[in-house]
Structure 1
Amino acid sequence: MSESAFRVDTTARLAQWRIDNLASCTYRKSDPFKIGNWNWHLSVEKNRALYLRLHPEISNLTRDNPPIASFIIRVVCSADDWKALTHPEITDKQLKNNDDFVWPIEVPFTGKFIIDVEFLDLKTASPNGGEPCSIWAEGFTTKQSNETALACLGRMLTEGINTDIIINVSDGSIGAHRAVLASRSPVFHSMFSHNLQEKELSTINIPDMSIEVFQAFLRYIYGNIEHEEFRTHRLALLQAADKYDILDLKEVCHESLMEDIDTKNVLERLQNANLYQLHKLKTSCLRYLVKFGKIYDIRDDLNAFLQCGDRELIADIFNEVLNTWKGF
């Protein structure tokens, strides 16, 4: 049996194991695959029913900080035109060993089939005994440094301490500091360094942004944005980061948008990846659609996209399909 028979393909939150045949084998365990902080295994046991297990690899990390997982798992069989069977969504289930999640499947599967696991969240127990903490939420907050200085910058913004520039947006106005804006954005730096209207009048007009989005944008610049606010506005923040040439914000948005690609957002993410030249996000979306077979789950949305989407982007999708099918 080839090594690829045990390999699990992954994206940031999706794992997919392709099995050609179990007719001559009663038990098979995948190679380890990494999602979040843990290495994982899938296994199948064929008896009267098919028993499917998902569990983290035994390690010190698993013993000390077992994952608390929320996920959707399904099996797609090549028989009957790729029939799919989906387990009810699992929410906040702690997984320590291979008996913590067992799915007995009574429906017989023959021929090729695919096991598809989409992780919705991964948490660890709080060391203080509070609510479990999402590892993906932690991943954002740990990027902040020098908390005292950032707190002072945040106070300058929220309390309006010595503001010297007014920003007029589509539905309101807010005060800020030239020096902070200029230090974070070469576009703002240019505005305040030359004899432009913004320098003379001490105002900036940004009619294409709401005050809610612009406040989130400023809070990122001043270092006091909360994780949920960031996630709520990350597409608009990506647009602002591109417009004002704030590369670190653009990269943070890029990385975040790759973490939770799903069938509801993949086409929008693909178009934004193409618009803002986000190569990793574009590649992830194309893999999700084609290699992981999600293109069949969004046929109506895809047909609408094919009618009015960017021609080059449509060609990229078809090229990904052709390249993937070469491997079959």
Structure 2
Amino acid sequence: MTTGSTASAGDSRVETIARLGQWRIDTFGPCSYRRSDSFRLGIWNWYLSVEKNRVMVVRLYPEPCRLAKEQPPLARFMLRVSNTAPGRRCCVSPVHEKVLRGSDDFVWQVDSMFHGRFTVDVEFLDLKIASINGGEPSPIWPDEDMLQPLASRSSLRCLSRMLSESIHTDVTIRTSDGDLRAHKAVLSSTSPVFASMFFHDLRENQLSTIDIDDMTLSSCSALLGYIYGDIDQGEFWKHRVALLAAADKYDIADLKSCCEESLVEDIGLGNVLERLQEAWLYRLAGLKKACMSYLFEFGKIHDLRDEINAFFRQADRELMVEMFHEILGVWKSI
């Protein structure tokens, strides 16, 4: 999880969070060239440069090195140039998808000229390793190792078979749209809430049935897939908000942490307010900090005027107080 890393001091520094890099340029004359310090996103170090003569152009390219040559990045990204003066003005590039090897592979001619102080943002929507032999590119997000339990692959295969083939299952899980079979011992070893159900003389223990009617059959299948060490990566991403709710409800700490890291990795304009609400609801300090930083330190709240008004109408009062204090902290640092 990347939160607020910096390249170096001065206005050549690029700050990063999640998949966003932000370069704040304090001074820029009518005929100038500037290059940022290197900054890391994904597995590559990157540079941004701005040059201006008759027109203004922005370049994005990976640091020239053996990694960029042998594993060139296939990037899907967009850029934004904006000033910070009253009457905020910005230019946004189309979404580009290109293999980037050097400084000439991507050049964006900005439609407007910017002088003095302004900000250049690059947001990576996806990053893959391009095949140099014409094969399929290899994704670097999400990180599948994040989901790999510590148990050996042999043990995972056994647990997977126990679930998929219902080998000696002894408990029924009733979801909102169907039933699943599982094992009391496996559930109890994963969750203290399930362990308490089966240790005491409760209804769940007497009837060997658990009602989880706040989950669908598919999302509960993903939950069991995680518990038994056989979750599909795509299913995890599809159901991660439901998995987060279940991890909080049943006190499955490692799943909750995994969901939080995943949600931090793809914070963007379209989901940051939703992520902030989830962080508040499930007490996720890291996700909340990343959302606050994205909104206030990186100035993205200016692009969410309509959405933030709707958000404030239904947000928790204590959360709004925290957001207000965050704004004050940013103002004091300017």
Q: TM-score, normalised by structure 1?
A: 0.94
| Matched position secondary structure for 2:87 | helix
1:140 is the counterpart of 2:144: yes
Which string of whole-angstrom CA distances, capped at 9 and with x for unpartnered residues, describes residues 280-314 of structure 1? 10011011111111111111111112122111111
Q: Which amino acid letter does the alignment assign opposite residue 286 of structure 1? A: M
1:98 is the counterpart of 2:97: no
Does the 8 Å contact 1:66/1:124 carry over to 2?
yes
CA 1:129–1:184 in 2, change beyond 3 Å: closer, same or farther? farther
Could you say which residue in structure 1 is the equivalent of 2:283?
A: 277
Once the two structures are superposed, the pairs formed by residues 1-328 of structure 1 within 5 Å of their partners are 3-23=9-29, 26-78=32-84, 81-91=87-97, 93-125=98-130, 130-137=135-142, 139-141=143-145, 143-145=147-149, 146-328=152-334
| Matched position secondary structure for 1:199 | helix
Paired with 1:199 and 1:143, the residues of 2 have a C-alpha distance of: 30
Which string of whole-angstrom CA distances, capped at 9 and with x for unpartnered residues, describes residues 249-294 of structure 1? 0010010000111122111111111121111100110111111111
- Deviation, structure 1 residue 143: 4.0
Q: Which amino acid letter does the alignment assign opposite residue 103 of structure 2? A: N
Does the 8 Å contact 1:79/1:111 carry over to 2?
no
Paired with 2:314 and 2:254, the residues of 1 have a C-alpha distance of: 32
| Matched position secondary structure for 2:37 | coil
Paired with 1:228 and 1:126, the residues of 2 have a C-alpha distance of: 22
CA 1:235–1:142 in 2, change beyond 3 Å: closer, same or farther? closer
Paired with 1:148 and 1:239, the residues of 2 have a C-alpha distance of: 30
Which string of whole-angstrom CA distances, capped at 9 and with x for unpartnered residues, describes residues 50-92 of structure 1? 121111112222122111111111111346722111111012x
Count of residue correspondences: 325
User: Where has structure 1 moved over 4 Å in runs of 4 or more?
Assistant: 126-129
Paired with 1:83 and 1:9, the residues of 2 have a C-alpha distance of: 21
CA 1:205–1:81 in 2, change beyond 3 Å: closer, same or farther? same
CA 1:128–1:100 in 2, change beyond 3 Å: closer, same or farther? closer
| Matched position secondary structure for 1:44 | strand
Paired with 1:208 and 1:105, the residues of 2 have a C-alpha distance of: 49
- Deviation, structure 1 residue 17: 0.6
Q: Which amino acid letter does the alignment assign opposite residue 228 of structure 2? A: Y
CA 1:46–1:23 in 2, change beyond 3 Å: closer, same or farther? same
Root-mean-square deviation (CA, aligned residues, Å) is 1.8
Q: Which amino acid letter does the alignment assign opposite residue 216 of structure 2? A: S
- Deviation, structure 1 residue 163: 0.9
Q: Which amino acid letter does the alignment assign opposite residue 7 of structure 1? A: R
Which string of whole-angstrom CA distances, capped at 9 and with x for unpartnered residues, describes residues 184-209 of structure 1? 11111111122222122111112222
Structure 2: stretches of 5+ with no match in the other structure = 1-7
Q: TM-score, normalised by structure 2?
A: 0.92
Paired with 2:263 and 2:107, the residues of 1 have a C-alpha distance of: 31
Structure 1: stretches of 5+ with no match in the other structure = none
